[in-house]
Amino acid sequence: MELFAELSSQWTIIIGLAVFFGAILLMAVFARYASLWIQCKMTRAGIGLFSLVKMSLQKINPTVIVRSKIMAVQAQLPYVISSRALEAHYLARGNVPRVIQALIAAHRANIELDWETAQAIDLAGRNVLEAVQTSVYPKVIDCPDVKKGQSTLDAVAGDGIQLRARARVTVRTNLKQLIGGATEETIIARVGQGIVSAIGSTNSYKVVLENPDMISRKVLDMGLEAQTAFAIVSIDIADIDVSENVGARLQADQAEADTRVAQAKAEQKRAEFAAREQEMVAKVQQNRAEVVLAEAEVPKAIADAFQSGQLALMDYYDLHNVQADTKMRMAIAGSGTGGSVGSNPA
């Protein structure tokens, strides 16, 4: 009996300690989450005390989830967002309060936006609240972007006059294409391309100066917002300045280039003719050399004729007299280039 009494006393102490520490633990838990739990009860957020403890064990900030859920309930969104959905978005490193604020702003502005789309936009790295705000209050973008170092869009009209334009593009967010849609840089590039193309298609710069809104209408009709995260509301030409006469400058440059080409061709022809002249001079020298060689064969032929008896002495003197008479005639005529056909016999 004493042993039984001793064991009962030990169990009583153990149970008492367990109850004591359990009470302390419950008091600590209640003290930690009492404020949030009371807020949930008063606002009908539907989050219990056990769920709050579970969030802490999952390394989820219960304050963020409770306040986000309270905002969604108090805003009376047309759809119910469960606490698990908020927790899952938090664990995915999403910005839960910003998504809820975006949903509330879209609901107040009658913009169609559901929880799945909003959290997908947030997880994609886009600021969903800013996107909704841009849908409500359209945003103005300068074209071109001065931050990129370019202050004007330079375009040349049909008459060769260069115009420098600046435009302001008013856009609102297209929530349906926000995921995967092109950003502001694409809008600026497309609008700039459209303005340059529209100015280039006009016959005269005067038409552009007289009717700048014609350029805006042409650019709007191009459908530049396709596959972008924005819808273009309007394109306003802020300023147009007349620059230089590019057409005249290009024509002058072309004329100068043509002159250089003609000079090069003429120089080429001159070089060809000079080379041809040198060839002719060489051929003349060659022919003269052949004549000298032929003349050198004459005395040898005369000597051979003497030896063979085909040429008599009187015939030789007659030939010599003919040569002398020929030289005299050529000297009188002023030629001065009468080469002797033969030479005196040795």
User: What pLDDT score does 319 carry?
Assistant: 74
Pairing of strands 153-156, 161-173: antiparallel
In a domain, 24, yes or no: no
In a domain, 118, yes or no: yes
* Number of domains the chain contains: 2
Domain that holds residue 205: 139-245
In a domain, 16, yes or no: no
In a domain, 62, yes or no: yes
In this structure, the answer to whether residues 162 and 127 fall within a common structural domain is no
Inter-residue contact 57 to 82 (CB < 8 Å): no
In this structure, the answer to whether residues 168 and 240 fall within a common structural domain is yes
Q: 85, 106, 136 — which closes off a domain?
A: 136
In this structure, the answer to whether residues 236 and 212 fall within a common structural domain is yes
DSSP bridge partners of 237: 167
Domain holding 162: CATH number?
3.30.479.30
In this structure, the answer to whether residues 80 and 120 fall within a common structural domain is yes
Q: Phi/psi of residue 171, each to 5°?
A: -130, 155
CB proximity list for 230: less than 8 A, separation 6 or greater: 134, 171, 172, 173, 174, 181, 184, 187
pLDDT in tens, 67-115: 888 888 888 888 888 888 998 998 998 999 999 999 999 888 888 888 8
In this structure, the answer to whether residues 68 and 127 fall within a common structural domain is yes
User: What pLDDT score does 32 carry?
Assistant: 64
Q: What is the mean pLDDT of residues 306-329?
A: 76
In this structure, the answer to whether residues 155 and 229 fall within a common structural domain is yes
pLDDT in tens, 216-262: 888 888 888 888 888 888 888 888 888 877 777 778 888 888 899 99
User: What pLDDT score does 99 carry?
Assistant: 92
User: What pLDDT score does 6 carry?
Assistant: 57
How far apart CA 306 and CA 297 sit, in angstroms, is 14
Helix (H) or strand (E) holding 185: helix 184-200
Q: What is the mean pLDDT of residues 308-322?
A: 74
User: What pLDDT score does 339 carry?
Assistant: 47
In this structure, the answer to whether residues 38 and 67 fall within a common structural domain is yes
Q: What is the mean pLDDT of residues 262-267?
A: 91
In a domain, 334, yes or no: no
In this structure, the answer to whether residues 121 and 173 fall within a common structural domain is no
Confidence at 345, pLDDT banded by 50, 70, 90 = very low
At 193, list the tokens: 């391309």
In a domain, 108, yes or no: yes
Q: 185, 219, 245 — which closes off a domain?
A: 245
In this structure, the answer to whether residues 161 and 184 fall within a common structural domain is yes
In a domain, 286, yes or no: no
The whole model's pTM is what? 0.57
Q: How far is CA 63 from CA 87, 138, 257, in A?
A: 11, 33, 77
In this structure, the answer to whether residues 102 and 71 fall within a common structural domain is yes
How far apart CA 135 and CA 137 sit, in angstroms, is 6
Q: Would you say residue 27 has pLDDT above 60?
A: no
Q: 223, 245, 267 — which closes off a domain?
A: 245
The identity of residue 211, as a single letter, is N
Helix (H, G, I), strand (E, B) or coil at 225: coil
In a domain, 185, yes or no: yes
pLDDT in tens, 287-312: 888 888 887 777 787 777 777 777 67
In this structure, the answer to whether residues 109 and 146 fall within a common structural domain is no
In this structure, the answer to whether residues 90 and 156 fall within a common structural domain is no
